Amino acid sequence: MLAILDYKAGNLTSVKRALDYLSIPCTITADAQVIAGCEGLIFPGVGAAGSAMAYLGRSGLKEIMAHEIAAGKPLLGICLGCQILLEYSPENDTTTLGLIPGRCDIFTPDLTEEDGSPINIPHMGWNTVTLRKECPLFDGISTESEFYFVHSYYPNPAPEYVIGTTYYGREFCSVHGRDGLWSAQFHPEKSGRPGLKMLSNFYAYCREAANAQ
């Protein structure tokens, strides 16, 4: 069972629908006991860093997440979830969870695409991810696959945590983390078959990790 962490930020149901489609058992929850009983956590989110952090603090989810991660439970952050696992976001000048070293930055309007045209902000649409190191989430996924992005801020973690990068006006980190604690800036639940495969890979990893304990 996967726990989709419920912190009232954005479209949790789209992640649930994708997991339902894949027949992966899951529940949307903020309950410590339910979360403790799950094999892995998904930390999704659409919205703003400031209000998300305020809710995470108020609801106790911040402590629950820190506890579960320290205990080695796998977690997959998505979009805003990916950003607030870092230490700081200039969005609402917010101190974020700090579970991965680094910060967020914003796309600036002076950036241009590879063909010289000025970039649109937000970065909205399909783009590729170049893997900088191996990651089991991408097992069986073609390197030419594209993923669906919608964001104006991008993660900028410490270099050793960069897993995948994407080009949009500049190269930025689109997948970060370490074994068992991964995040994607894009939305796997909205990225067609490659995205669904990534969610299946995460669940497979969670099952293995749970069985190994």
Partner 1 sequence: MLSKRIIPCLDVRNGKLTKGVKFEGNVDIGDPVETAKRYYEEGADEIVFYDITASHEGRGIMLKVVEAVASQIFIPFSVGGGISTVADMRDVLLAGAEKISVNSAAVKTPHIITEGAEAFGSQCIVVGMDVLRVPASEAIPSGYEIVIHGGRKHMGIDALWWAREVERLGAGELCVNSIDADGTKDGYELTLTRLIADSVRIPVIASGGAGNPQHMVDAVTEGRASAALIASIVHYGEYTVTDLKNYMADKGVKVRRIW
> Active-site residue numbers?
79, 187, 189
Cis peptide preceding 118, ω within 30 of 0: no
Q: Is 6 in the site for partner 1 (CB under 8 A)?
A: no
- β-partners of residue 125 are 149
d(CA 188, CA 3): 16
Binding mask 62-101 for partner 1 (x = CB under 8 A): ----------------------------------------
> Is 193 among the residues that bind partner 1 (CB under 8 A)?
yes
Question: What are residue 131's DSSP bridge partners?
Answer: 164
Among 88, 153, 161, 168, binds partner 1 (CB under 8 A): 168
Q: Pick one of 66, 90, 92, 126: the residue that binds partner 1 (CB under 8 A).
A: 126
CB-based contacts of 85, cutoff 8 Å, min separation 6 = 43, 77, 96, 97, 99, 100, 176, 177, 181, 183
Hey, which residues does 38 pair with through a beta bridge? none
Q: Which is nearer to partner 1, 79 or 175 (CB)?
A: 79
Question: What tokens were used for 140?
Answer: 């069986």
Query: Applying CB under 8 A, does 10 fall inside the site for partner 1?
Result: yes
| Binder among 24, 56, 88, 123 for partner 1 (CB under 8 A) | 123
**Which of 25, 37, 109, 159 touches partner 1 (CB under 8 A)?**
109
Q: Applying CB under 8 A, which part among 30-38, 70-78, 157-165, 184-192 lies near partner 1?
A: 184-192
By CB under 8 A, residue 46 contacts partner 1: yes
127 binds partner 1 (CB under 8 A): yes
DSSP class of residue 46?
Answer: -
Q: Does 48 bind partner 1 (CB under 8 A)?
A: yes
Shortest Cβ 167–partner 1 spacing (Å): 6
- Which residue type sits at 146? E
The secondary element (H helix, E strand) that includes residue 156 is: strand 153-157
Question: Reading across the β-sheet that carries 40-43, which strands appear in turn?
Answer: 26-29, 2-5, 40-43, 75-78, 181-184, 171-178, 162-167, 130-131
Q: Which residues bind partner 1 (CB under 8 A)?
A: 10-11, 13-14, 17-18, 20-21, 46-48, 109, 113-115, 117-118, 120-127, 142, 144-146, 148, 150, 167-168, 189-196
